[in-house]
Amino acid sequence: MKIHESGEMYLETILLLQKQVKCVRAIDVANSMEVTRASTSRALKQLKEMKLIVVDENGCITFSKEGEQIAKSIYDRHVKLTQFFELIGIDSETASADACKIEHVISDRSFEKIKQFIVLNSK
């Protein structure tokens, strides 16, 4: 089973929420992503099957090693792509929205160059 764009979004959202509260539950993810509990339930089930997350007896979601690595890498892309768009003059809203779509499809190679661009052009 391969992870898709949608799965990546769920992982990223969980990571983001974990920065705000200690226990992230399915309902938090659903609210944050503005999808139904049903959609979230199914998505999380798949992430469990893929061994990317673990849900404890209280419903708190935590990452496996691999899950965390994927979540962080997507989140990193999000942050850096947003930064990049801001650097070239895009407002934060648009920058973040575009980053959110591009983070799932850009190649590692191009992303590396985008990061270099940021280093050379920020400060």
Partner DNA sequence: AATATATGTTAGCACAGGCTAACAAGATTG
Partner DNA sequence: CAATCTTGTTAGCCTGTGCTAACATATATT
Site for DNA contains 102 (CB under 7 A): no
Least separation in angstroms between CB 121 and a copy of itself:
10
Site for DNA contains 67 (CB under 7 A): no
Least separation in angstroms between CB 97 and a copy of itself:
7
102 binds, among a copy of itself, DNA, none (CB under 5 to 8 A by kind): a copy of itself
What would the DSSP string read from start to end of the chain?
Answer: ----HHHHHHHHHHHHHHTT-S---HHHHHHHHT--HHHHHHHHHHHHHTTSEEE-TT--EEE-HHHHHHHHHHHHHHHHHHHHHHHTT--HHHHHHHHHHHTTT--HHHHHHHHHHHHHH--
Q: How many residues bind DNA (CB under 7 A)?
A: 26
Least separation in angstroms between CB 100 and a copy of itself:
9
97 binds, among DNA, a copy of itself, none (CB under 5 to 8 A by kind): a copy of itself
Q: By C-beta, is 2 or 123 nearer to DNA? A: 2
